[in-house]
Amino acid sequence: MPQPPALLNQICYAIDAGLLAIDRDENIVLWNRWLERRSEYQELHIAGLPFAQAFPAMAGSRVHQAIQAALSQGLSSLVSQSLNRQPFPLFVETNRFDRNPMQQAISVIPLNCEAQRYCLVRIHDVTAAVNREQELQRIAKVLEQHSFQDGLTGIANRRAFDQQFLMEFRRALREEQPLTVVLIDVDHFKAYNDLYGHLAGDECLKRIAQKLRKTLLRPADMVARYGGEEFAALLPHTDRPGAESICRALCQAVLAEGIPHQASATAPHVSISLGSVTLTPTRQLAPDFLLNLADQALYRAKQAGRNQVCVISEAEALQACLAA
């Protein structure tokens, strides 16, 4: 049974979505109350205008193309908010004085009425959903950043170091450039904890971490907390003399921080030992091999009396690689 026009008009104006009808000549024939309340257009003024004249910024847009496809070919379309870079000039009212652009999901549906082709454009306000998705993405990004950050010291953690190390190793392999890995250990840290307590120990690690980070001046250099009182550093594009110079600067910077350590058999203040290895990676060289060599160098530095740097030369490293 055909429905009375008055009833259909009431439905169009009561529905909680924007309804825009366009005839075969692309003239606007319907602009419902939902759209009136969320735009600067009243149906009285916009009805009868060509679509491209009413919305010149949307001429040739994906929405306009979808309207033309519906009128000429009878094709339905769904234009998502993410793909629709030129939506209708609609607004969300957050208060009386503040109107924000509306995020829109738009569907275009061909209609046939009395042997005439029309198309219906249906617009849904998805602003809240988009804002929620953006907030979730922001939270996820923050959580990801925290997952690569050491909770105590605020510098990169072991996970971040491992990921960055593999990336820098592959880059050095491609570019045939040297890569330096440094392992750092706080001297007599257990004795420090036993004497001053764990809270003081935590504060000590924080100060050392920040001093190490500030001493590494190049943006590509990285320092991370490797575990417990151990730190690790990556020095891309750094040869052995450069690595040795940086390591000595790190060693001196921590000692100059002047953190008292009466239980140390090495120095009156907290000191560090560093083991460094520099290699130009080859396809025969496993990434872990550099870490093992750096660990050996650190062991030598501690055996030699601590508060010093031990650097394994590239020749020695290559010899160890051939012997492995």
Write out the two tokens for 268. Answer: 């009156």
Contacting residues for 82 by C-beta, under 8 A, at least 6 apart: none
Instruction: Give the DSSP letter string of 77-117.
Output: EEE-TTT-SS--S-EEESSSS-EEEPPEEEEEEEEEETTEE
What is the sign, positive or negative, of the torsion defined by CA atoms of 81, 86, 91, 97? positive
**CA of 200: how far to CAs of 156, 204, 207, 280, in Å?**
21, 6, 11, 40
Token pair belonging to 296 = 């050996």
CB-count burial class (<10 Å; 0-12, 13-18, 19+) for 285: middle
The token pair at 83 is 């793909």
Is 26 labeled as catalytic in the residue annotation? no
Which of 144, 229, 230, 244 is catalytic? The answer is 229
The residues that are catalytic are 229
